[in-house]
Structure 1
């Protein structure tokens, strides 16, 4: 499947255009926590979150960050040759700390010659002018692209409260705009199917983060994961305020996802189309472990058949 045959901008095509070769992300668990877990903001975390689902296996046994990267590169080198790597600070909130300590940790990674760039996953309310200034200075010093991956998840205030997210849409918007204005690349994370949200609301998320100036988006379908607060709601069929989530089947999700992409800015890079938690962690919905490339092809085929394309329904002004 070539980019010319896909009616949306894929992350792989963006990476090949920027770096001229295949690029692989290597996940890192740098030992961070989250203000929504350690008591400074709240406890228990977001209701959908089960952190064990997003830690690569080598992160469980190797604690130092450079060691994790070397282990990840060793694994992927066995699959693909002559590729580059992006270090992905993946677990919890990776800007939640003292800026000087964070700077030292980021430097360890940026100094590794195998690393072409860095992605830093975090929360909108863990972005400050000091953190942005550190990342901006490091990007200029090392001439390696730094991407902030911001867990926006939803742009609806009532949903953020319902899922115990602990920040507001206004904070999400401010974090995106601040990082973009500084010259950092921004990828916003969104979840489709959160409790109480209509189809129109889910589609609107992508339009809003497009207007805020985000460069990319990771789209996830809601999964009920073992060990998450939402798993308890699911097993008891008791939902806060009676608001149930939408647990899409694969056949239901593809049209919804296609409509969401249609309403996004035409140049937004679609970095992910669905969640991909380990199968043994998923309570619902269970899709049978479809691979990302296969899902991408099915979405592309559907959009082409329906005459849809990215940005077709996007409006810059509300």
Structure 2
């Protein structure tokens, strides 16, 4: 029995075959880094937006796609791919540059869609219009990925996100009006959050036109403000047992139709001080799957709070 909507199964059903997501590095930064909002970055974000960026310096998008396809295509028996604009904030660019990047990715014959990772406060209709136009002309799908991490505004301040819940809601609603897919990123075991915060995050995501989620634990990248806090003993990570409990709780309150891209994250061990409590990601995933089965928990089993819960007994009266 499937306990939650699995991303790979969703893609296979949608496109009729295996589809693999390929990271693409763009020459962008972030308003949290260049002084627009802050010069300190989010406390968990490393000096590069993603490990992949170091392998793609100076490469155009087509070359990045071709290199990755040649490697992962035969390995995973995939012939269709999603171009994933991954590092930093990918709508934080001049509109003309953004259009050129989107068009180059969509023009690739093996690409079925483009995923754009960005911030809630970098969703502007100028970029959404570009994506809509390109999607229409090339016949490709679009998904935007927003890093929320937590619905607790106090936690967002500690993380130095430089946006609040309001910006996330605004961005999600704007994306929804264009009919694009949208994925929300959540860190389930932030030390400044409790389980009530995790439940509320699942609820807020569920009442918005969100189509996918990514869930992972808090891991510590070397050279970050969080790493400094961790080494000084100023922050203590929660146990992986607590992470698993929160992940299961999150899924129980999450709307049933939302696709779960992941329930545990991955990170390079050479660039981190702590990842998933030292456990391999697949082991954590298997343990979550087993716990959900043992407890008979399924995605959305506690999602009973929509559509006027308190008034239903009056409507159902004869």
Partner of 2:10: 14
1:225 to 221, 224, 244: 221
The CA deviation at 1:286 is 4.8
* Structure 1 unaligned spans of 5+: 239-243
Alignment of 1:260-299 (within 5 A): 260-288=250-278, 290-292=280-282, 294-299=283-288
1:143 to 139, 146, 157: 139
- What is the DSSP-based 3-state SS (H/G/I as helix, E as strand, rest coil) of the residue aligned with 1:56? helix
The CA deviation at 1:62 is 4.6
The CA deviation at 1:288 is 4.0
C-alpha root-mean-square deviation of aligned residues, in Å? 1.8
Query: In structure 1, what is the Cα distance between the partners aligned to 2:252 and 2:231?
Result: 34
2:202 to 203, 206, 215: 206
The CA deviation at 1:224 is 1.4
- What is the DSSP-based 3-state SS (H/G/I as helix, E as strand, rest coil) of the residue aligned with 2:76? coil
Partner of 2:245: 255
Alignment of 1:1-318 (within 5 A): 5-52=1-48, 54-56=50-52, 59-238=55-234, 244=235, 246-249=237-240, 251-288=241-278, 290-292=280-282, 294-314=283-303, 315-316=305-306
The CA deviation at 1:304 is 1.3
Query: In structure 2, what is the Cα distance between the partners aligned to 1:39 and 1:50?
Result: 17
Give a deviation string over 1:56-104, Cα, whole Å, max 9, x none: 2773445212111111111102313343110000000000112122111
Contact 1:193/1:222 (8 A) holds in 2: yes
- What is the DSSP-based 3-state SS (H/G/I as helix, E as strand, rest coil) of the residue aligned with 2:9? helix
Query: In structure 2, what is the Cα distance between the partners aligned to 1:286 and 1:209?
Result: 24
Partner of 2:316: none
Pair 1:38–1:168, CA change in 2 (3 A): same
Structure 1 stretch displaced more, 98-107 or 57-66: 57-66
The CA deviation at 1:234 is 0.5
Give a deviation string over 1:262-317, Cα, whole Å, max 9, x none: 0100111011112211012221255445244x544332221111011100111225
The total of aligned residue pairs comes to 307
Larger Rg over CA atoms: 2
Query: In structure 2, what is the Cα distance between the partners aligned to 1:61 and 1:93?
Result: 17
* Structure 2 unaligned spans of 5+: 310-318
Partner of 2:315: none
Give a deviation string over 1:29-63, Cα, whole Å, max 9, x none: 11110000011111120001114472327734452
Contact 1:58/1:72 (8 A) holds in 2: no
TM-score, normalised to structure 1, is 0.91
Query: In structure 2, what is the Cα distance between the partners aligned to 1:173 and 1:28?
Result: 27
- What is the DSSP-based 3-state SS (H/G/I as helix, E as strand, rest coil) of the residue aligned with 1:176? helix
- What is the DSSP-based 3-state SS (H/G/I as helix, E as strand, rest coil) of the residue aligned with 2:28? coil
Query: In structure 1, what is the Cα distance between the partners aligned to 2:60 and 2:109?
Result: 17
Contact 1:194/1:222 (8 A) holds in 2: yes
Query: In structure 2, what is the Cα distance between the partners aligned to 1:160 and 1:287?
Result: 23
The CA deviation at 1:174 is 0.7
Query: In structure 2, what is the Cα distance between the partners aligned to 1:114 and 1:107?
Result: 14
